[in-house]
A and B are shown apart, each in its own frame.
Chain A
Amino acid sequence: MSEIKKIKNLKEFSTSADRFEGANLLCPGCAHSIIVREVLNATNDDLILAASTGCLEVCTAVYPYTSWDASWIHIGFENGSSAVAGAEAMYKALKNKGRLKQPDRTPKFVAFGGDGATYDIGFQWISGCFERGHNMMYVCLDNEVYANTGGQRSSSTPIGSSTTTAPAGRVSYGEKMMKKDMMAIMAAHGAPYVAQVAPNKWKDMVAKIQKGFAAEGPVYINAMSACTTEWKFAPEDTIAISDLAVDSLVFPLYEIINGEKLNITYRPKNIIPVRDYLGAQGRFKHLFTKQYEYLIDEWQKNVDKKWDYLQRREEASV
């Protein structure tokens, strides 16, 4: 195994040379890009990357340009995971036969996919990769909506969010279903490392990415990606909204090791009401009316319940 890059503090991290380039076509203020930077800059090793169809892929490979300074592949919506798994299997085979041209180099295999690609359309492929135990990292850019095609609901969309296929109006408060618990599902595969991260907590995130790179086997990272366009907030507020999400515990930061041991990695000093998080985004605007405000209390109860569950699991070391 290669050496882990030393990142003691933010000053040291800022000496990284990005392998992801500007003049891509992601929206101003897009968190996908902040996440990609933190993942790629967590290592100096070679990278073999894939992206499923979605904002990240569409905006970074616009003919005749590429924004990637590493091996990068896109095939379809559903198979970013298996594209990288195939490369990883070939790498292993060549290694076993002693046919690697540069055996001293230890590339990292990473697939990126949106929540649509991860929670819904690519789910079976990801599950297959994890069951087969490829040595790879899968990063879900979780913006809770099919952003690239104009904001359709996915199984990651949280209850009460207004989307183009579950719009809020006179007869509906928008999305009816609860967000799918992808963390639990991936941990149930027995993966060595599963973690939820948020780019605004860069140190927590980079530490988890490095743990993931050091693990043997498939690693799942669920990265909260605040989407200025679909969550409906001003582009300069991406980090502020992300802070509200982690400090209200809507996006708790935790890890699950070997599918068994759960650790909470960030405990807000001041837990803020879920109401403050919802109120900062246009997608939840209709909840602040007489007709639908009961949902805000329900939201708070759900978040409290989940936090209680995570704490009990951590305490019991299971």
Chain B
Amino acid sequence: MEKKGWDGFEIGAMLRSFDGATRDIATTLPEDRPYSQSNSFTASVADWRIEKPLFNKDYCIDCQFCWVYCPDMSIISRDKKMVGIDFDHCKGCGICVEVCPTNPKSLLMFAEQQDEESAIAEWPKKDTSKAKEEAKDE
């Protein structure tokens, strides 16, 4: 979308979240929504990040702590499973990593430029010095 300055404001402009029918939006997942160009979902804050979280599904127990505490709707969960990260909207805050209860963590922060394959290859192993942390679905 063309960027407008403060003086480019169109008087009476109508900005809609969606183009088209939206009757049951509360039960429609993002991939099925008719987002309009003025919905911030179509924008990106990827350039805010210095570090990004990467996900290693081998250790994940699908507790969904990362989903509920991500401030930016950037943990993608489908059918009660954590499936990945939305890198258009992730701001790299690191909360998901902090709340992940597994050992080793299933989410870790890496430099923005690091690729996933090498990150998985250097993923830390289970830390046996720590008592086994129990993940509860509280």
Interface residues of A in 41-77 (CB under 8 A from B): 43-46, 60, 62-70
Q: Which residues on the B side are within 8 Å of A315 (C-beta)? A: none
- Total A-B pairs, Cβ < 8 A: 147
B8-53 interface (Cβ within 8 A of A): 9, 13, 15, 17-18, 22, 25-30, 33, 37-45, 48
Q: How far is the CB of B67 from chain A (nearest CB, A)?
A: 5
Nearest chain B residue, comparing its CB with the CB of A72 = B17
**A71: nearest residue on chain B (CB-CB)?**
B17
* Majority secondary structure of chain A interface residues (helix, strand, loop or mixed): loop
Residue A316 interfacial (CB < 8 Å): no
- Choice from B62, B65, B73 contacting A22 with Cβ under 8 Å: B73
Q: How far is the CA of A37 from the CA of B95 in the complex (A)?
A: 15
Q: Which one of A15, A18, A26, A202 contacts B80 once the chains associate, using CB atoms below 8 Å?
A: A15
A17 on the B face (CB < 8 A): yes
A27 to chain B, nearest CB (A): 8
Q: How far is the CB of B44 from the nearest CB of chain A, in Å?
A: 6
Which residues in B have their C-beta under 8 angstroms from that of A20?
A: 73
Q: Which of A30, A203, A240 touches B98 (beta carbons < 8 Å)?
A: A240
> Could you tell me the distance between the alpha carbons of A50 and B105 in the complex, rounded to whole angstroms?
38
Complex Cα distance A133/B69, Å? 33
Query: CA of A140 to CA of B22 in the docked complex: distance in angstroms?
Result: 29
- Contacts A11-B62, A17-B25 given; indicate if A29 touches B93 (C-beta within 8 A): yes
A61 to B15, CA, bound (A): 10
User: Does the CB pair B40–A37 fall under 8 Å?
Assistant: no
Q: How far is the CB of A6 from chain B (nearest CB, A)?
A: 12
Bound state CA distance, A186 and B8, in angstroms? Answer: 43
Interface stretch of the complex, out of B83-91, B112-120, B122-130:
B83-91
Flag whether B111 is at the interface (Cβ < 8 A).
no
Q: Bound complex: CA of A43 vs CA of B24, how far in Å?
A: 12
**A239 and B89 contacting across the interface, CB-CB below 8 Å:** no
Question: Residues of A contacting B77 with CB < 8 Å?
Answer: 14-15
Give B95 Cβ to nearest chain A Cβ, in Å.
Answer: 6
Chain A residue at minimal CB-CB distance from B9: A63
A26-B71, A69-B17, A239-B95 known; A10+B40 contact, CB < 8 A: no
Q: With A28-B71, A44-B27, A69-B17 given, can you name 4 additional A-B contacts, CB distance below 8 Å?
A: A15-B77, A29-B94, A238-B95, A240-B98
